[in-house]
Amino acid sequence: MPPVVPPFLVGLIVAPLAKRLLKPLVRGVVKTSVGIAMEVKKAAHEAGENIHDLAAEVAADMVAAQIASGDAGSRSGDGQHATGNGASSGAKDEAADRTEGDARAAKIRAAAGAGKAN
């Protein structure tokens, strides 16, 4: 009958060998996993920046279109008011147009400032 070796003695002998073999393998797996995670994080950040840039460009185009359509509308509106009921209504409309223009300019400045901040 072969001699019986207690399992804990096998463990004492095999553990240092396993440590020497498995440590570099596990270290390589962890290093590769961390590297992949960092690359994915970087790619996601760049994609987010690209989406933000695209949204800023679209917002700027929308503001430009509103300004262009607002200028054309105020020109035709001025022609209609000049042939309207009288000078008093023309003065009121001019004041309203000026207030609306100031509000639009404030919105444009706010949008431009928000684009520069990010």
Three-state DSSP state, 105: helix
Q: Strand runs (DSSP E) across 15-59, as ranges? A: none
Q: Is the whole model's pTM more than 0.75, yes or no?
A: no
Between 87-117 and 7-82, two packed helices, what is the crossing angle to 10 degrees? 160
List the chain pLDDT tens, one digit each, 118 residues. 567 778 878 888 888 888 888 999 999 999 999 999 999 999 999 999 999 999 999 999 999 999 988 765 555 544 444 444 444 555 555 555 556 666 666 666 666 665 554 4
Would you kindly state where each structural domain of the chain is located, as residue ranges?
7-117
Rounded CA-CA distance 62/54 in Å is 12
* 101 contacts: CB under 8 Å, gap ≥ 6: 70, 74
Map tokens 């000078």 to a residue: 87
